[in-house]
Amino acid sequence: MARRKKGRPVHGWINLDKPLDMTSTQAVSAVRRIFDAKKAGHAGTLDPLASGVLPIALGEATKTVPFAQEAGKVYRFTVRWGEETTTFDAEGEVVRDSPVRPDEEALRAALPAFTGTIEQIPPAYSAIKVDGERAYDLARAGETVELQAREIEISHLHLLGMPEADLAVLEMGCGKGAYVRALARDLAAELGTVAHVAALRRVKVGPFDAANSITLDGLRALAEEGRADEALLPLETALAELPSVAVTEDEVFELRQGRAIVLLPNAAQSLKAARQPREIAGKDYSRAALAMGHDRAIAIGEAKAGRFAPVRVFQWG
């Protein structure tokens, strides 16, 4: 007989402000324990040396993680000029130095070349798999890791300040797959010097914003008062960009059985008008829509030819 999974059926998102010196996996485990949740996952790894927004999905919200992972992100980070490390952040050992310190004018002039669609070679210390192994595991074992350049999107890159000659504080908005450490490396090379990321904070992941996040201590304080559920965001938070359609109680039943429903003409036209290119985890979701019933997400499905066919159904309970 299969052993029943421990924990309670809690569903939704926690917009966690991850602290420094904690892995994303440790953060997920901590949140899961607070809620005694059956299932939990996160939407985008943050290194231990990085703080900020780490959206954590509980229960049925884990089915929406791919949508959160594809969302745009915003980072604020500090670059330290003159020292390059093995990891391109403060964790690594210094391997190169340079006396060159770019001034504000030179730095501002260099930034436009790193916005828009650009190619970037990920750092060797990354989670990318090489022949089935994580690149950072190979790098830590002393092996030479050569990764291919990949196309990334950087929506904006702003200089926020230069508190010291050695330091520059920047903000970057980007899509999936962009590395702040690689950007610091390449920006330094463009400016004729070397650098590493001295501090990193993620301030936004799609609809999840640092301004509305909660710390682990804050979450524990709510839990002690029996109010932890107040921090839960709706399951559909990660699906904000999907057009939605309201369904009746009978249609809810049909969708939960995995059967397609016929859309009213107005609903079908509305969903068709809202269609836009969208690829999630390598799949075409341009026809995707969210069925809502009883003020809850019922299913993600494909709206086509006047019908809504469920692709992913949410089971509440």
Q: For residue 309, what is the domain's CATH number?
A: 2.30.130.60
Which residue stretches of the chain have pLDDT < 50? 1-2, 4
Cite the active site residues.
Answer: 47
Q: What is the pLDDT of residue 62?
A: 96
For residue 144, being part of any structural domain is answered with yes
Note whether 121 and 193 are same-domain residues. yes
Q: How many CB atoms lie within 10 A of CB 276?
A: 9
Note whether 44 and 95 are same-domain residues. no
Note whether 102 and 195 are same-domain residues. yes
Q: What is the pLDDT of residue 188?
A: 98
Q: What is the pLDDT of residue 140?
A: 76
Q: What is the pLDDT of residue 5?
A: 57
Q: What is the pLDDT of residue 7?
A: 81
Q: What is the pLDDT of residue 1?
A: 43
Q: What is the pLDDT of residue 146?
A: 76
Contact by Cβ (8 Å): 76, 169: yes
Q: What is the pLDDT of residue 212?
A: 95
Note whether 150 and 199 are same-domain residues. yes
Q: Give Cα separations from 243 to 19, 57, 135, 187, 278 (angstroms).
A: 34, 21, 38, 38, 12
Instruction: Tell whether pTM > 0.85.
Output: yes
Amino acid at 237: T
Q: Which two tokens stand for residue 267?
A: 């609903």
Domain that holds residue 182: 73-205
Q: What is the pLDDT of residue 94?
A: 96
Q: How many independent structural domains does the chain possess?
A: 3
pLDDT, tens digit, 9 for 90 and up, residues 2-33: 454 578 889 999 999 999 999 999 999 999 99
Burial 244-260, CB ≥16 within 10 A → b, else e: bbebeeebbebbbeeee
Q: What is the pLDDT of residue 59?
A: 95
